[in-house]
Amino acid sequence: MLGILVATSNLPRLVVVVVFDQFRYDYITRFYPYFGKGGFRRVIEGGTSFTNCHHTHVPTFTAPGHATISTGTVPKYHGIVANLWYDQATLKKVYAVSDPSAKAVGGKYRYGESPRNLLTNTVGDELRLKTNFRGKVVSLSLKDRAAILMGGKLANLAVWFSTEDGHFVTSTYYTDKAPKWLKDFNAKKPANRYFHKEWRKVGPKDAYSLAITGGFPHILGKDSKEPDSKYYRELKATPFGNELLLDLVKVAVKGEKLGKDTVPDLLFVSFSSNDYAGHIYGPYSEEVADMVLRSDRILSDLLNYLDKEVGKGNYVLVLTSDHGVAPVPGRVEGLKGKRVSLDTLKGVIEEALTHRYGKGNWVLYASFPWIYLNDTLIAKKGDPAEARRIAKEALVKVDGVMRVFTREELLRGGFPAWDRTALYVYNGFNPERSGDLAVIPKAFTLLGSHYTGTNHGTPYTYDTHVPLAFYGAGIPHREVSSFCSTTSIAPTIAHILRAEQPASTVGEVLEVKGQ
């Protein structure tokens, strides 16, 4: 029966949430025949998988996606409306995890960061409260925004990779002194062992026959005389970045003694290299095919380590992704993919508002999907609602633009259930942080400043549809094809841990255990 109280000893000792960044659901179906038995196959065939799981917000970016996974709610409520947004009050850009009061710990990092911009709490925060702070929450990634937003406000530690010195770092928000295991790990300079290493294909030839493009091999740091920031950036866009993070995960599990007693712990791991490589090469490339096959090996290695270190039957693993990705425009015949720059959109708005109100700096900032108008100037000239309507009428005429939503429309809401595009934009709209206009491109059109490669962020299935599977202690084998949202991940984990759901959860508890 849902909500029944159970003894702490009956709970899993550790829940591990594994996110493969920019991992479309169809990577599972396309490459399934080429997976080994110990990775994705083990999780899917031995656990409960949801084949029709979607992120139900726009934009489908890293920061909003990871925040949704950990909070069980959408950007409207958790406040992470993009990786970067504009603050009309201060007239400054805001990075999702920026915090000027914090400083890096463990290495060099250009920013001070914390989860202070997150407006609600996470499932990890609830676990900390439930256990009177005895249960640990640790979050690890190559990306700062992934690690920080998964861990939440009460996490023991969030750790990410710095390309400034090749160290993994944390923040004074969590600790003034890096733990010994992290110091020891960095002291060995593990990121340097891939310097001048070749990235070659590891799978069978047939696995790459599904690709349209490819350019193997790739040599890391070939333009550098020694490991430097350029090399470290290259490293993140190869499967070796994921291998490096996996090594850190093993050290962290042992160093923090995760899953070693009857008080449950929670570990978040986000493998970012899939995203860095995916942006460059696209979903139908040999490089992404190889990343998927290597991700299968990464997952297998992680499961084997958890079997040994925590024990079979003592942990639950949750597998998902923060978003998908669009095909590279022009590479798939017949899809009519194209690129529309933000400068084009800004120019169209400037022309329309200049025609109505006279010359002025009408657009303050634009970052897909949000466009921030100069509200102060507009208020002096006329009605802001009218200005937004004029801007919308001009934008919808741009080739490649599908729909435009004004602030007034999103504040009003009331969109029909069948209009998923509108609902996803509504879910992503926070009145204090989102722009005056939300612009949605036509399918397969990229809106932004990406002149090569590809991107994500739209309400289309190639960006929203992601894997979701639960595996481990007490999880039966089932396959569920009905629609579900990633907002259900956090409340379901809370149910498994018999913890309270995060405060702003909008997702439902999925039937995976203890029903």
| Active site amino acids | 62
The H-or-E segment that residue 338 falls in is strand 338-341
> What is the C-alpha separation between 217 and 211, in angstroms, rounded?
15
Rg of the chain, C-alpha, whole Å: 23
Q: Write down how long the chain is.
A: 515
Residue 168 neighbours by CB under 8 Å, 6+ apart: 106, 107, 140, 159, 160, 161, 162, 182, 185, 186, 248
Residue burial 443-455, b: 16+ Cβ < 10 Å; e: rest: bbbbbbebeebbb
Instruction: Give me the residues paired with residue 373 across strands.
Output: 363
**Locate tokens 């036509």: which residue?**
442
Helix pair angle (239-255, 273-281), 10° resolution: 170
DSSP tally for the chain: helices H, then strands E: 18, 23
Nearest to 54 by CA among 71, 69, 32, 67: 69
> What is the C-alpha separation between 272 and 274, in angstroms, rounded?
5
**Locate tokens 């549809």: which residue?**
465
Q: What is the DSSP letter of 121?
A: -
Q: Are 74 and 56 in contact (CB under 8 A)?
A: yes
- Dihedral sign for Cα atoms in the order 174, 187, 146, 95: positive
**Locate tokens 């942006």: which residue?**
279
Q: Are 321 and 295 in contact (CB under 8 A)?
A: no
Q: Are 454 and 283 in contact (CB under 8 A)?
A: yes
Q: Are 285 and 36 in contact (CB under 8 A)?
A: no
Residue 209 neighbours by CB under 8 Å, 6+ apart: none
Would you call 89 exposed, middle or buried from its count of C-beta atoms within 10 A (0-12, 13-18, 19+)?
exposed
By three-state DSSP, how is residue 170 classified? strand
Q: Are 479 and 51 in contact (CB under 8 A)?
A: yes
What the block records as the tokens of 511 is 């039937």
**Locate tokens 């159970």: which residue?**
6
What the block records as the tokens of 29 is 């179906």
Nearest to 246 by CA among 162, 304, 171, 316: 304
Which residue type is seen at 111? Answer: Y
> What is the C-alpha separation between 389 and 383, in angstroms, rounded?
10
